[in-house]
């Protein structure tokens, strides 16, 4: 394929062994590691990181990025402890062989972005300074409710911090009312990689190419090689008990997490 695939495989299975199985079954070589064996990636020990690395190495797989929650906190919350967690995350990224850490630009009250800009930038600067002695690439993801939710504020961030790259997530922009082509034109110089997640106008997430995220345009113009699959597709508990005609109506609902993961993988392969 034109691209190499990574994935949030915790959406297929919470256990590392299940994530490995899902990746191999769907031809995905990289893991964007977020949740594993009941822990968020920001919480694991160095010993756990070494064990994850060993198991992935044995299977011929690798970690592309830490799908971390760093920067996904409010402005009134204690930042010092969060920063220490971030520093430990950088150490674990190195152990895991990951060259990227996904992060965010902090939740701010709606309509008060300008009021909190300096504080947001001060915190982001702490992240950037802490990572200077590593070869880890910090990647800011656009996310609903954070400072960098809309393209114009994402651009502000990247102009201020030249080493901070972008993770471009089309569905997150849709959920903020941001046109994805407009966002791509503004942010493409800063994009390090993509999160493959599409959505409808109402914000509901759908398989790649089924929404209004303009994924064909973005993929055509993306100059990188790696794209991360982030399914976020609906799994319905009682799916197997439905009548056939009801199943037909639920076009984007799946009987299990592994089925949803496969559907997302099939959709992006088809689109490519």
Please write the tens of the pLDDT for every residue from 55-81: 999 999 999 999 999 999 999 878 999
**Contact 231/169 with Cβ under 8 angstroms?**
no
Torsion on CA atoms 113, 119, 120, 121, rounded to nearest 10: 120
**Contact 64/100 with Cβ under 8 angstroms?**
yes
What would the two tokens of residue 34 be? Answer: 């977020």
Percentage of the chain modeled with pLDDT above 70: 94
Please count the other Cβ atoms lying within 10 Å of the Cβ belonging to residue 145.
16
Mean pLDDT of the chain: 94
pLDDT the model gives residue 245: 44
Nearest-angstrom CA–CA distance, 158 and 171: 20
Q: Give ∠ CA 64-66-67 in degrees, rounded to 5.
A: 110
**Contact 188/220 with Cβ under 8 angstroms?**
no
> Helix or strand or coil: residue 177?
coil
Nearest to 5 by CA among 19, 20, 26: 26
What would the two tokens of residue 128 be? Answer: 């950037």
> What residues contact residue 267 under an 8 Å CB cut-off, 6+ apart?
207, 208, 209, 210
pLDDT the model gives residue 248: 38
Q: Give ∠ CA 169-70-163 in degrees, rounded to 5.
A: 70
What architecture does CATH give domain 4-271? Alpha-Beta Barrel (3.20)
Nearest to 98 by CA among 125, 71, 61, 141: 61
Nearest to 52 by CA among 97, 85, 22: 97
What would the two tokens of residue 209 be? Answer: 């190419």
> What residues contact residue 190 under an 8 Å CB cut-off, 6+ apart?
154, 155, 158, 165, 166
Percentage of the chain modeled with pLDDT above 90: 90
Cα–Cα separations (whole angstroms), residue 239 to 11, 234, 243, 252: 18, 11, 9, 12
Nearest to 75 by CA among 128, 125, 129, 112: 112
Nearest-angstrom CA–CA distance, 261 and 264: 5
Encode pLDDT of 209-245 as tens digits: 999 999 999 999 999 999 999 999 988 666 455 544 4
> pTM of the full predicted structure?
0.94
């Amino acid at each position: 394929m034109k691209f190499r695939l990574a994935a949030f495989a915790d959406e297929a299975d919470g256990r590392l062994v299940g994530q490995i199985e899902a990746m191999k079954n769907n031809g995905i070589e990289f893991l964007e590691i977020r949740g594993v064996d009941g822990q968020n990636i920001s919480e694991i020990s160095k010993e756990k990181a070494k064990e994850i690395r060993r198991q992935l190495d044995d299977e011929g797989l690798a970690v592309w990025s830490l799908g971390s929650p760093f920067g996904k906190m409010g402005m009134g919350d204690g930042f010092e402890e969060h920063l220490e967690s971030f520093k430990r995350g950088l150490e674990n990224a190195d152990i895991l062989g990951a060259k990227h850490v996904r992060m965010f630009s902090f939740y701010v009250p709606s309509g008060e972005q300008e009021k909190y800009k300096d504080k947001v930038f001060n915190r982001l600067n702490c992240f950037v300074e802490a990572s200077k002695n590593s070869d880890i690439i910090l990647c800011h993801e656009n996310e609903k409710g954070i400072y960098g939710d809309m393209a114009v504020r994402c651009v502000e961030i990247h102009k201020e911090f030249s080493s901070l790259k972008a993770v471009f997530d089309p569905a997150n922009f849709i959920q903020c009312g941001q046109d994805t082509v407009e966002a791509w034109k503004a942010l493409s110089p800063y994009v390090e990689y993509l999160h493959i997640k599409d959505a409808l106008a109402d914000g509901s997430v759908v398989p790649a190419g089924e929404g209004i995220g303009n994924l064909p345009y973005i993929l055509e113009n993306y100059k990188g090689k790696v794209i991360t699959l982030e399914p976020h597709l609906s799994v319905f508990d009682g799916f197997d008990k439905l009548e056939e005609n009801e199943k037909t109506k639920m076009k984007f609902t799946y009987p299990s997490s592994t089925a949803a993961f496969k559907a997302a993988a099939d959709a992006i392969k088809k689109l490519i």
